[in-house]
Every structure is written in structure tokens, then in C-alpha cells.
Amino acid sequence: MAETDMKLVVVGAAGRMGQTLIRTIHAIEGARVYAAVEREGSPFVGKDAGELAGLGPIGVPVTSAPLEAFVHAEGVLDFTAPAATVEFAGLAAQARIVHVIGTTGCSAEDDEKIKAAARHARVVKSGNMSLGVNLLGVLSERAARALGPEDWDIEVLEMHHRHKVDAPSGTALLLGEAAARGRGIALADHSVRVRDGHTGARPRGSIGFATLRGGSVIGEHAVMIAGEGEMVTLSHSATDRSIFARGAVRAALWARDRKPGLYSMLDVLGLN
Ligand code: NAD
């Protein structure tokens, strides 16, 4: 462990992503697990964060007091739930540290609060922290620009494990936003999130979403651009959660010396 290692707090430490983050930080040079936070009442509070993640003890007991953990830290890695993330954004702003947000399912109101917190904190927020999906977004934007709405229909398909609570996934929305950017339209005015019963013909220029849930699938996404007699499919498969965790640590290290503000993974990866 070096003096210069970035001191990171993992919130939601007992979750699927929380445990992956602890293992990933432990294996990466230049960062260390400084604190681990779980919700009050969690049976994991007081347990060693390394043991929780299957590493063996690392001398960091899980706490339910986030502000105390944030005060002397340099960054927070947050894959929790929208209400918790909004709370952590306020605390990260108070502590003036980096806040990397992977949590999905935030409402417009939540996003406004996060934006306000980014006046003081360096926030990196993305529905997907992997290099592959962010590149897929760039490719989807280009494809949507080249294949216009008169002849081509865009559908975003996603599948995730049975425990996922929000739909469509943050990644599907990220890809839909990218396609909408390519077309020069606002996704909110053109997205079709549900189809059921007699729907009528497909509105031209809309961007459709289809959501599948089941088993232990980590994340499957496809942007399908269908024309007369041909279809272009751009897709990504996640087979290991560590791709998101590595991206999150990279984002924290990138944001360490930035000015306060709201950044995306495209900024971190230089794809903007
Ligand atoms: P999970 O349910 O396994 O873990 C969430 C954890 O957060 C739980 O342990 C829970 O107790 C904890 N938590 C909730 N409220 C808290 C609070 N107030 N304080 C402290 N801890 C709290 O879920 P998961 O599969 O790890 O996913 C978490 C989030 O990350 C979801 O929104 C998911 O969609 C998102 N996600 C994003 C990416 C990405 O790259 N952006 C990748 C994977 C998952």
C-alpha cells in the first residue's frame, strides 16, 4: 500500500457490485479500500469488508455511518439505490470528494439533486461503466445518424438477472440516448417503453425498448436497426461484473484532479 493510493469508500459494500468493487480495488495499484458502508440494520455492519468480498480480512470494518467514512476519504464508489445515491451525493459534496455513481433507475428529480451536488463534488455518473458499452454507445450514435428514420427503425433489447429492480436498464437508456443524439431528437419524446395489445403500427422515428429478466444474466444489450430487407445489430455481453468495477475505479482516479462538476464515462474514456 502506497501513501499516494487514492482512499476510496465502497457504499453498498455487501451488494453484488459492492463485493466486486472491494475485490477490484484490492487488486488495483493506486487505490485502496479506505471504508465500506452498508445501510443501517444490515447484518453485515461490523463485519470485515475483505471477508465479505471473499478476500480474507483487510482491516476495514463495514460501517453504517457514511459521513464519518467520507470526511477523510478521497472518493466514493456508489452502486446502491436511487434514494441512497441522492443522500450520498449530498454527503460527498459536503466532504468535497469524488463521487462515482453507477446506480441506475434515478428519476429526473434525483438527477437534479445529483447535479446540484456536483457544484461541490466531482461526480462521474453512468448507467454503464464498461469500456465496451461506452464504445457501443458511440457506434450506436453513428449508426443512428447514418440510418435515418424514414427507412430504419431502432429497437433496444436488454436482458438481466432476476433480481434487477429497474427497467429498462440504465445501459439500455444510455444506448437509447446515444441513438437519439445521432438522430438529433430527444429520447423522452420518442421512446416506446411498453407494447401490449392492439398497439397500432410503429410510429416512425420512435426508439423502442424490450426488457427480459431471468436467471443470473449480468447484462446483455443489443441495438437493432431494422430496415426493409436488412438489419444492423450492435451488441454487448457482460460476463463478469469486474468490468463495471474496473471502470468505476478508473473514473475515480481520473476525477481525482478535476474541477467539481458532473462528468460521464465518455469523458473518462476520452470518447466524448
Ligand atoms: P444489490 O442489491 O446487490 O446491492 C445494492 C446494495 O446497496 C445492497 O447491499 C444494499 O443493502 C445497499 N444499500 C442500499 N441502500 C443503502 C444505504 N442507504 N446505505 C448503504 N448501503 C445501501 O444491487 P447490485 O446488483 O449491486 O446493483 C446496484 C446498482 O448498481 C443497481 O442500480 C444496478 O442497476 C447498478 N449497476 C450499475 C452498473 C454500471 O456499470 N453503471 C453495473 C451493474 C449494476
How does pLDDT run across 182-215, given as a tens digit for each residue?
999 999 999 999 999 999 999 999 999 999 999 9
| Residue 37 near residue 13, CB atoms below 8 Å | yes
Q: How far apart are CA 130 and CA 245, in angstroms?
A: 8
pLDDT band at 224 (very low <50, low <70, confident <90, very high): very high
pLDDT band at 133 (very low <50, low <70, confident <90, very high): very high
Q: How far apart are CA 97 and CA 90, in angstroms?
A: 11
DSSP state, 82?
A: H
Ligand 1 pocket check for 12: Cβ under 6 Å: yes
Orientation of helix 108-117 relative to helix 82-95, angle to 10°: 10
Ligand 1 pocket check for 85: Cβ under 6 Å: no
**Catalytic residue set:** 160, 164
Ligand 1 pocket check for 218: Cβ under 6 Å: no
Q: Is 1 a residue whose pLDDT tops 90?
A: no
Ligand 1 centroid from CA 248, angstroms: 13
How does pLDDT run across 9-19, given as a tens digit for each residue?
999 999 999 99
pLDDT of residue 272: 85
Ligand 1 pocket check for 207: Cβ under 6 Å: no
Q: Is 99 a residue whose pLDDT tops 90?
A: yes
How does pLDDT run across 7-49, given as a tens digit for each residue?
999 999 999 999 999 999 999 999 999 999 999 999 999 999 9
Q: Hey, which of 9, 10, 11, 17 would you mutate to test ligand 1's pocket, going by the most ligand atoms within 8 Å of its Cβ?
A: 17
